[in-house]
A = this chain, B = another copy of it.
C-alpha cells in the first residue's frame, strides 16, 4: 500500500552543529536500512529545499507511523502523509 510522504527538515537552533551532525548520520543509516527492506521505494530531494518527497510501501498506517517516528530527524520535521492508490490511467507493467 503506497503513501506519499513529504518531509521538511527544520534544523533545531538549540542543538550544536556536532550534535545535529550526529543526528543526520543516524538518519541516513536508518533511511538506508528502511529502503533496503523495500518499505521506502522512492526518496527524492526537492530542488532548493531541505525537504524530500518520498513514497512508502507498507502494510498499514501503523507500520508507516512506526517507520516515520523511528527516524532520528522525526522531532525536527514537518511531515505530510498522503495515501495513494492505483490510478485508472496508469500503464500496467
Contacts and interface: CB of A to CB of B under 8 A. Distances in A.
Contact of A84 (B35, B45, B90): B45
Nearest to A82: B46
Task: State which size class the interface on A falls in.
Answer: 35 or more
Q: Oligomeric state, in number of copies?
A: 10
A57 to B, nearest CB: 11
Interface string A1-36: 111110000011110000000000001100110011
B48 A65 contact: yes
A79 B46 CA distance: 11
Interface of A: 1-5, 11-14, 27-28, 31-32, 35-36, 42-50, 52-53, 55, 60-62, 64-65, 68-69, 75, 79-91
